Amino acid sequence: MKNKNLSISIVAICLLLISFKLADDIITRLGMQHQNAQWHIIRNLIGSFDTGPMELGVEGGDPNSIYRQTQSFRIPTARLLPNIIAGDKAAASKELCEYLKKYVNSVEFAAEYTKLRESAIPLTDRGMSLADLKRNSEVFRLNIKNYPNDIKYVAEQQKQLDENEKRVTALQEAAKKPFQGKDAWEKMYPADPAVMVKKRLQEYLQLAATVDFTAKLTDPDKYKVKKFVNPAYEKKSLKWKAIYRAGKEVNDAVTVFVKEWLKGEIIAKEKTTMAVTTPAANTPPPTAATKPASQSEPVAGSGPVVTSPESAPTEKKQSGSKLKDKLKSIIRN
């Protein structure tokens, strides 16, 4: 097992559980940004949804299915975590877990989950997902709003908006009917995200109960890598090892928190709002849910796809001549 430095420990376990803070300063104290923390939380909760031939021999995989779900596990950079470790780890862990619960119960989580769910649906219109089409409509509406006096341009944008909305409606209707991959998609992205969150919390408790916190490690080798003395432990998953690194003190606190959470409402009807922060410097690359909605490759099992190129709509910018005309008008007046 690589000696990754205890610095990833708390973040790893609470990410697994997957976690981050109630008070804003815990994220600051970890040297992180909220956007980056939340990016990791939701993607560690969901995992990844891949399309393509199912590889034989994949654990839990159905060789007859073209879709598969994998539980990815990403550990974000927390450059100031050593400072937290030197203090009350159990208290910090509780704060991180409270942050997770607050985010899961926020309007931001609900919106991001919806976008990811719509982007992953194995149905497309000319290679564009439902989320892509909805994003295009937002651009058309913004252009119409920003240029009310440009009659010709507004008419063009309105026409494209109307056509795009028809495509949105068609995909939404198609999603209500049976289609290839629907069962796999709904299992990974249930309509109620509380189902998915509850399952992950239960999985954490089950996995944490199997971790041997007394396990011994070898001395560092010439590459400064430590391994478990017990070879069976060396074959354990990254999540299992992350729980081990976090230590019994941290996991005892997390376990208590999770058990209490599971006793009540997983996601409340009343949503909170998270703190607004600037984008993190180490924010991961955008996913399909945040990329410009341009033509993509056809999705297997999605039916006929028109492959003619289609560009995403762009927000109209004021031209230099129009700006000059406006300035002249201001001067004359």
What are the beta bridge partners of residue 67? 51
Query: Is the alpha carbon torsion for 52, 57, 59, 65 positive or negative?
Result: positive
What does the pLDDT look like over 63-108, one tens digit per residue? 444 454 444 545 444 443 444 455 577 887 888 888 889 989 999 9
Q: In the chain, what are the helix, strand and coil shares in percent, each to the nearest 5?
A: 50, 5, 45
pTM confidence score: 0.66
What does the pLDDT look like over 30-48, one tens digit per residue? 666 667 677 667 777 876 5
Question: In one letter, which amino acid is 116?
Answer: L
Residues (pLDDT < 70) of the chain are 1-34, 36, 39-40, 47-87, 275-311, 317-333
What are the beta bridge partners of residue 48? 70
